[in-house]
Structures are given as C-alpha cells and as structure tokens.
Amino acid sequence: MTVVWVANRDKPLNDSSGTVAISKDGNLVVLDGREEIIWSSDVSNSVSNSSAQLLDTGDLVLRDNSNGSIIWDSFQHPSDSFLKRMRISNNANTGERIRLTSWKSPSDPSIGSFSASLADINLPECFIWNGSLPHWRSGPWNGQKFIGIPGMNSIYFRGLNIVDDREGTVSISFNKNETTYYILNSEGTLGRRYWIDGMEDWEIGFSAPKTECDVYGKCGPFGSCNPQDSPICTCLRGFEPKDIEEWNNRNFTSGCLRRTPLRCERNSNSSEVGKEDGFLKLKMMKVPDFAELSTAMEDECKSQCSKNCSCIAYAYYMGIGCMLWTEGLIDVQKFSMDGVDLYIRVAYTELEKKKNMNVIISVTVIIGSLTAAICTYYLRRWIVKRRGCSNESMLWAIVDQVKLEELPLYKFEKLAIATDNFHLENKLGQGGFGPVYRVMLVHQ
C-alpha cells in the first residue's frame, strides 16, 4: 500500500480508536477515541446533507447532496504526492499557491522542510523550496517542456501540461494512461514513480535535484556549474572569484565578480572613447533565474539588450521568445545535452582574449600535427633501415598498406630504359608529385 495523502498530518492519533465522520455542519472530520475533532475539512458554509467519496483518481471529495456539487476535495490540499488530474497552481493576484509539501521523515507524515510548486506567471517554472529558500529550479516552460531539465523529451514527462487561465492563475497537471505519480520526499527530491506489473512494485524514473549542480545557486552569482568538471564551479568568462580563499576551499556560494567593467558602466555619459562591449556565446546552458520576457523577435533580441546598459545577458528560445537578464546571473549550469545558447555581456578586452586564445589553440594544433607527422616519417625510416628492407620490399609494403595490389609494379631499371634514362624528349609535364614521362614498354 502506498500512502499519497494524509488528513491529520500534524496531529497523529496515539491509538487505533480514531474515526472518520461527517459532522453536523457537513464537514469531513477525523475524531480521536474521545470523539474530539483533530482534523476537519473546514468548509465555512454549513451543509445539512453531505457525503464523502474517494474517486478512482485518488481524489477524496466532499459533496453537497442537495445538488451534487463538490464543496471540498483533497486535490486542493495535497500532501507530498502529485497524482494524475491534480493541479498545482499559483495565483499572482491573490498569492494563493497550491503546493506539494514533503514529509518530515520517511515514517513521519507531518509537514517537512521542503515544498514544490510553480513560480513566475510570465515564465512559469517549477521550484522546490527549502523553507523559504529556493532549492531547485526547472527552468522556464516553453509550451512543451521545462528547458532547464536535460532530456525532458523522454517518456518520463509525457502528459505534463501548463495552463494559464488569463486571470492570474497558472497551473500544472498531467494525465497519462499508465499508473504513475510524482512525490516530493523528505530530503527535497522530486521524483516520478511508475508501477511495474510484473515486479509488483514502484520504479523511480526522473528525479531532481540529481547532482550537486542541480542545487539552486550552487556556484553563486556569475558562476557556472558543470558536474563533469573538478571543481564543479567556474566563473563565467570575463569574471573572477569574489573570494578566492573561499573558492579554493570549495565554497562557491559567494560567486564571481566582473573582471573588467563594461564600457557603459565606466562612462554612462559616453564621453569616453573606446570599443563597445560585446557578447560571448555559451552553448548548452541552463538559463539563469530572474529572466525578463521581451516581445522582441529573435533577430532583435541582441539589439534590445545592447541598447540597455543594465542588460547583462540574453537568450532566445522557441516557444518562449527573447529573455533578458538585468540582475546577477544565478543558477547557471553547463549541460552535456540540450540547453540554451546564452549570450553574456563582457568588455571588449575579454572578447580580444578569446580571439587570442583561439589563435593560440589553432597554432598549437597545427604545430602538433606537423610534429607528429615528422616523427612518424622518421620512425618509419628508422624501422625500415633497421630491418634491412630493400627498396622494392619497402615499396611493396606501402602498396599493401594502401591496398593497391591491382596496380602493376616496375623496377627502376625498366623505367629508366623505357624513358631513355628520363630524357627530356620523353617528358610530358610537371605536376605536384614531380615530372611525368612517356614510356615505351616492351612486353616479354
């Protein structure tokens, strides 16, 4: 048996004498052995005739029998589980938020430290909070997936849907044919469980946070996290650690500072003569938090950010549009798949450093390739000389290597005779591989 909802989470019964009943005012209540109410559905309007029903969806509902309407249901007051056809929502006008809340421990269903719900109406994202602090963030919804979750196109996420009622409420729900649900555990991990008939047990599919880098703001402002690197945190290009001692001690929360001030920051009145700031492209990134949505088209997104000195980064993604950032870039991550092209604003000198680095890398690769080729050539000559191979056997070895066995082979002496000792009258021309001669072969 899997528990997905608990009524009296913070008021447990001390014995088995508790009962569930309908009170005189029509509310659904839990009574202890002394028939004292320890939990109530707490419907404000009294109903003289009501009944409770557990639906096939797992929703426990309280109905007004006079008209059949639902006056209370458990889906509006979830515990730690997100079931099919349940809605997790956020109302920007009233501040009302339906959220999952974790258990205190695997054996204690009282309300724990973690909660999960939607945030940001304009760019909906799923958040897990530890108390009032963000713990994990999904990245914005593009109409089909959360772009901050790599691989979200997989079967683990089919059926998820976000709806905006245009009246201030955004809600997320999912509907799949298979038996599956999401659960927020006591350690703050949101996971998807699905039932396997043959095993008669639940299996874990998706879970988040999955790595250290998934934890919100792991590398601080202007820091980027990559779970495949050591250390996992680096400063974005053009930035350096705010506190190098903390950074060396693997405490990255203070983040990074800009190494070279932007031109528009140094001189807001534009009297200083100098080259303009530019943007560096970072591929396959999780976009930072606090994105501002713009109506600019893809070809206008960069221009709009460039004209605003307070704009420090931009990105464009299909289904979302132009995203701009004016605050410290927080919760940035480098992905090994999926992700977004993020453009960060840096001083012109940082762009020059990147160009110089590209030149150094190119020259190094060329020199390395030439060195390897020369070493291979002399090593081959040394091996042939040591083995005492004749010119003819060496030629045959080369021919065998390139699989040209079907071509005829001639000894040097025969070629000399056929070209009259390579006489100029028999020379046809000059090519990239040397002179070309006309020969007269006598078949024996």
C-alpha dihedral (297, 298, 300, 301), degrees to nearest 10: 100
Which amino acid is located at 155 in the chain?
I
Query: Is residue 356 very low, low, confident or very high in pLDDT (cuts 50, 70, 90)?
Result: very low
How many domains does the structure of the chain reveal? 3
Mean pLDDT score, 34-61: 93
Q: Is residue 354 assigned to a domain?
A: no
Residue 299 shares a structural domain with residue 197: no
Joined together, the tokens standing for residue 20 give 């569930």
Residue 116 shares a structural domain with residue 140: yes
Query: Is residue 217 very low, low, confident or very high in pLDDT (cuts 50, 70, 90)?
Result: very high
pLDDT confidence of residue 348: 87
Residue 209 shares a structural domain with residue 231: no
What is the rounded CA–CA span in Å between residue 303 and residue 16? 68
Mean pLDDT score, 417-431: 65
pTM for this structure?
A: 0.77
Residue 175 shares a structural domain with residue 81: yes
Residue 227 shares a structural domain with residue 147: no
Q: Is residue 361 assigned to a domain?
A: no
Residue 74 shares a structural domain with residue 135: yes
Question: Where is the domain boundary, 329, 346, 363?
Answer: 346
pLDDT of 292 over the 50 cut: yes
pLDDT of 159 over the 90 cut: no
Residue 120 shares a structural domain with residue 246: no
pLDDT confidence of residue 282: 97
What is the rounded CA–CA span in Å between residue 240 and residue 256? 5
What is the rounded CA–CA span in Å between residue 5 and residue 402? 71
Q: Is residue 28 assigned to a domain?
A: yes
Lowest-pLDDT range of 161-165, 180-184, 201-205, 393-397:
393-397
pLDDT of 426 over the 70 cut: no
Question: Where is the domain boundary, 346, 372, 387?
Answer: 346
pLDDT digits (tens, 9 = 90+) for 235-262: 999 999 999 999 999 999 999 999 999 8
pLDDT digits (tens, 9 = 90+) for 364-405: 444 555 555 565 656 667 666 666 545 555 544 544 554 444
Which amino acid is located at 281 in the chain?
K
Sorted by sequence, the CB contacts under 8 Å of residue 220 that are 6+ apart come out as 233, 242, 252, 253, 254, 255, 256, 330
Question: Where is the domain boundary, 193, 214, 235?
Answer: 214
pLDDT digits (tens, 9 = 90+) for 130-158: 999 999 999 999 988 999 999 887 666 77
pLDDT confidence of residue 362: 39
Residue 245 shares a structural domain with residue 174: no
Q: Is residue 173 assigned to a domain?
A: yes
Range of the domain at 424: 410-444
Q: Is residue 154 assigned to a domain?
A: yes
Burial label for 23, CB within 10 Å (0-12, 13-18, 19+), is middle
Q: Is residue 270 assigned to a domain?
A: no
Mean pLDDT score, 200-224: 93
Return the percentage of the chain with pLDDT > 90, whole number.
57
Cβ 172 vs Cβ 86: under 8 Å: no
Mean model confidence pLDDT for the chain: 84
Pairwise pLDDT comparison (170 vs 389), residue with the higher score: 170
Instruction: Encode 347-361: b = buried (16+ Cβ within 10 Å), e = exposed.
Output: beebbebeeeeeeee
Residue 64 shares a structural domain with residue 148: yes
Residue 67 shares a structural domain with residue 104: yes
pLDDT digits (tens, 9 = 90+) for 330-350: 999 999 999 999 999 999 888
Mean pLDDT score, 112-121: 91
Q: Is residue 403 assigned to a domain?
A: no
Query: Is residue 120 very low, low, confident or very high in pLDDT (cuts 50, 70, 90)?
Result: confident
Lowest-pLDDT range of 90-99, 105-114, 407-416:
407-416
- Give the CATH number of the domain where residue 329 resides: 3.50.4.10
pLDDT confidence of residue 351: 80
Residue 175 shares a structural domain with residue 140: yes
Q: Is residue 301 assigned to a domain?
A: yes
Residue 121 shares a structural domain with residue 210: yes
First to last CA, the chain: 94
